[in-house]
């Protein structure tokens, strides 16, 4: 259970449960089988993938369920390539552990389009920016990959050495040795470190994680038009006085021609309702405060950051089964409606107290509710004001968000 010495400043350990060996059968079989018979043959890049040897190993590790305590859970279980590398079920949090019955704490984020995420930093104006995990506490994709192997509610290995014991049984262990050295498995920390590097390299190299082939990408390239409703949705998305989504979810190409990632890597506190579907919330004293804890500990004294979570990319958002860090919402339309009616109709989202008044921002301790963003459009409303978007405009925005799904084929 030793800490990863590469990720020095990053506290580790975290949640995101995962159960269910899902139906990525073809992929998994393909990944799990290769490399086992190559004891002395030179390792060459897999002819079909174009990946480096390290990345090719990462691909196998990504889908290897045998590296979990249950033997039934891999990275791909929760980050299903067939579902834009996010969860395939609609559970708010996933189940893990040796018996796949330990609930997690946060919803599964997609692993798509993370390769350009910068390490966590405070911008010159003090804005927290970047980092991996919903609280930004991992600085690299490699750092990020440590937690799932070791967290009790995920793959639940007792320590790095446990993982390496399992790795030694893997079909691709000889390939692992050849790539990283014959003695690499003699030191568990070193070997585990290479697993992390391999997973990072896989995510960086394999275009599956960042294909930029959504309808919107093709529209930006001038190759396909958007439908009228989609275009109206884009206009509402971009309009600073309407959806203003673009304030955090950047939608235009960069000045260097780079494709938009639909996130500015910042953090925000939206006051998402408490989700009783998360087991931990049974304890009234339990609060997930994002940047200031409990998983992240280095900013625990920065009370103004409490309740802030990373702005995720909206690419493939229409394929998500649950939304926001606690998975409270199950549909995209509901999630968009929450943005515009959170303050005009709080009774739609929050439970009423004894006197019948909606308990706004009920997933935050009283002292942190002032941290919720109530100034930016569209959150700058009061009860009895019209929401920033009408119902039909919400529909248009949802239509537009549908264009962000990868793999679009023009009719």
Partner 1 sequence: MKKNILAQAIALALMASPLAASASEAELLKRLDKLAAEVEQLKAELAATKKKTDTVEQRQDALAAAPAAPAAVAVAAAPAAAAPVSMAAASPATMLGPNTVLSSYGEVNYTRPRHDSSKAQTDVARAVIGITHRFDEKTKMVAEFEWEHAVTSASDKGETEVEQLYVEREFNNGLRAKGGLFLIPAGLLNTNHEPTAYYGVYRNFVETAIIPSTWREAGLGLSQTLDNGLSWDTGLTTGFDLSKWDASSTDGRTSPLGSIHQEGQMAKSHDLSVFGALNWRGVPGLLLGGSVFTGKVGQKTPDFAAQDARLTLWDLHARYTPGKWDLSAVYARGTISNTEALNQTFAGQPTPVPSSFYGWYTQAAYQLWKNSDYALTPFVRYERFNTANGYAAMPAGLAVATGPNEGVWTTGLNFNVGEGVVLKADYQKFKVDTARDRFNLGLGYAF
Find the shortest distance in angstroms from Cβ 404 to partner 1. 13
Q: How many CB atoms lie within 10 A of CB 107?
A: 27
Of 1-9, 158-166, 234-242, 267-275, the segment contacting partner 1 by CB under 8 A is 234-242
Of 252-260, 275-283, 312-320, 401-409, the segment contacting partner 1 by CB under 8 A is 252-260
Task: Examine residue 229 and tell whether it contacts partner 1 (CB under 8 A).
Answer: no
User: Residue 128: helix, strand or coil by DSSP?
Assistant: strand
158, 240, 386, 407: residue in contact with partner 1 (rule CB under 8 A): 240
Task: Examine residue 98 and tell whether it contacts partner 1 (CB under 8 A).
Answer: no
210, 242, 249, 320: residue in contact with partner 1 (rule CB under 8 A): 242
Task: Examine residue 261 and tell whether it contacts partner 1 (CB under 8 A).
Answer: no
User: In angstroms, what CA-CA distances link 103 with 66, 367, 410?
Assistant: 20, 28, 41
User: Residue 345: helix, strand or coil by DSSP?
Assistant: coil
- When the beta carbons of 30 and 220 are compared against partner 1, the nearer one is 220
* CA 61 distance to own-chain centroid: 19
Report yes or no: 304 and 264 within 8 Å, Cβ to Cβ: no
Closest CA to 76 of 183, 292, 12, 88: 88
Task: Examine residue 236 and tell whether it contacts partner 1 (CB under 8 A).
Answer: yes
Task: Examine residue 252 and tell whether it contacts partner 1 (CB under 8 A).
Answer: yes
Task: Examine residue 246 and tell whether it contacts partner 1 (CB under 8 A).
Answer: yes
DSSP 8-state symbol, 295: S
Report yes or no: 272 and 230 within 8 Å, Cβ to Cβ: no
26, 222, 284, 356: residue in contact with partner 1 (rule CB under 8 A): 222
Task: Examine residue 116 and tell whether it contacts partner 1 (CB under 8 A).
Answer: no
Task: Examine residue 225 and tell whether it contacts partner 1 (CB under 8 A).
Answer: yes
- When the beta carbons of 6 and 220 are compared against partner 1, the nearer one is 220
Residue 95, phi then psi, degrees to nearest 5: -110, 140
Task: Examine residue 377 and tell whether it contacts partner 1 (CB under 8 A).
Answer: no
- When the beta carbons of 43 and 231 are compared against partner 1, the nearer one is 231
Closest CA to 113 of 212, 198, 197, 16: 212
235, 277, 318, 377: residue in contact with partner 1 (rule CB under 8 A): 235
* Rg for the chain, CA atoms, rounded: 22
> What residues form DSSP beta bridges with 102?
96
Closest CA to 407 of 160, 84, 166: 84
C-alpha span between 306 and 385 (Å, rounded)? 28
40, 124, 169, 411: residue in contact with partner 1 (rule CB under 8 A): 124
The residues of the shown chain that bind partner 1, judged by CB under 8 A, are: 124, 217, 219-222, 225-226, 228, 231-232, 234-240, 242-243, 246, 252-253, 255, 257, 259
């Amino acid at each position: 259970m030793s800490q990863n010495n590469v990720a020095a400043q990053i506290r580790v350990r975290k949640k995101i449960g995962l159960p269910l060996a899902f139906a990525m059968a073809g992929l998994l079989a393909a990944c799990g089988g290769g490399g086992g018979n190559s004891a002395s043959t030179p390792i060459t890049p897999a002819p079909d993938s174009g990946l480096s040897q390290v990345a090719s190993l990462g691909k196998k590790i990504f889908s290897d369920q045998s590296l979990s305590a249950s033997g039934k859970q891999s990275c791909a279980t929760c980050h299903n390539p067939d579902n834009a590398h996010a969860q395939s079920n609609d559970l708010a949090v996933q189940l893990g552990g040796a018996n796949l019955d330990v609930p997690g704490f946060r919803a599964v984020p997609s692993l798509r389009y993370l390769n350009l995420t910068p390490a966590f930093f405070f911008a010159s104006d003090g804005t927290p920016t970047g980092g991996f995990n919903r609280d930004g506490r991992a600085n690299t994709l490699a750092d990020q990959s440590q937690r799932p192997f070791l967290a009790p509610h995920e793959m639940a290995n007792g320590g790095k050495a446990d993982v390496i014991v399992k790795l030694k049984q893997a079909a691709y262990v000889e390939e692992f040795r050849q790539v990283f050295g014959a003695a690499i498995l003699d030191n568990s920390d070193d070997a585990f470190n290479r697993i992390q590097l391999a997973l990072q390299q896989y995510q960086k190299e394999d275009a599956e994680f960042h294909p930029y082939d959504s309808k919107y990408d093709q529209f930006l390239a001038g190759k396909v038009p958007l439908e009228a409703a989609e275009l109206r949705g884009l206009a509402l998305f971009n309009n600073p006085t309407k959806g203003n989504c673009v304030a955090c979810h950047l939608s235009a190409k960069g000045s260097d021609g780079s494709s938009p990632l639909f996130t500015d890597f910042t953090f925000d506190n939206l006051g998402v309702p408490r989700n009783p579907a998360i087991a931990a919330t049974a304890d009234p004293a339990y609060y997930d405060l994002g940047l200031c804890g409990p998983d992240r500990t280095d900013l625990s004294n920065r009370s103004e950051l409490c309740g802030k979570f990373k702005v995720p990319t909206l690419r493939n958002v229409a394929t998500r089964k649950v939304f926001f860090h606690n998975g409270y919402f199950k549909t995209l339309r509901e999630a968009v409606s929450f943005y515009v009616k959170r303050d005009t109709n709080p009774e739609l989202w929050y439970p009423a107290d004894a006197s019948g008044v909606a308990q706004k921002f009920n997933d935050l301790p009283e002292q942190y509710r002032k941290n919720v963003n109530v100034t930016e459009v569209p959150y700058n409303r009061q009860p009895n004001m019209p929401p920033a978007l009408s119902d039909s405009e919400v529909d248009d925005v949802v239509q537009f968000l549908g264009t962000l799904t990868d793999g679009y084929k023009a009719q």
